[in-house]
Amino acid sequence: MSHVRISDAARFLGVSDDTVRRWVSAGSLTSVTDAAGRMAIEGRELAKFAKEQAGAAHETGSASSARNRFVGLVTAVKADTVMAQVEMQCGPFRVVSLMSSEAVDELGLEPGSVAVAVIKSTNVIIESLESAP
């Protein structure tokens, strides 16, 4: 069973270490002691918790086949007469989208706006950070 350190759990969930510790104190998460004697969360429990948190945060009231939604802050908009590049910071992740300038205007996107990046992709590469057996 993999264990995730509190600091890593916080980073994965996009919150502070103190928030994860408060969730442990409140009983929302259960901590264990890892091999080095540090407080950690079991990987399966953290994955379940993260999925529940994401589901609650992304309820939009509209139907969509896209499952990857990242709420973030628009940090840059570069537009010409036809196309625009919109950059967002979604937690620790930078998301860049190319769209029409018309869409940028209709959505009112500008640096400082809060928006949701909805990503649907048939090609997603997942790499393991754990060493192979």
Mapped onto helix, strand or coil, the DSSP state of residue 84 is: strand
User: Any idea which architecture 3-57 has in CATH?
Assistant: Orthogonal Bundle (1.10)
Cβ pair 40, 10 in contact under 8 A: no
pLDDT number for residue 79:
95
Class of domain 68-119: mainly beta
Domain spans, the chain: 3-57, 68-119
Q: Indicate whether this model's pTM tops 0.85.
A: no
Q: Digits of tens for pLDDT over the chain (133 positions)?
A: 688 899 988 888 878 899 999 999 999 999 999 888 999 999 889 888 887 876 655 555 566 666 777 888 899 999 999 999 999 988 778 899 999 999 999 999 999 888 888 888 777 777 877 655 5
Cβ distance 46 to 3 under 8 Å? no
Contact 46, 86 (CB under 8 A): no
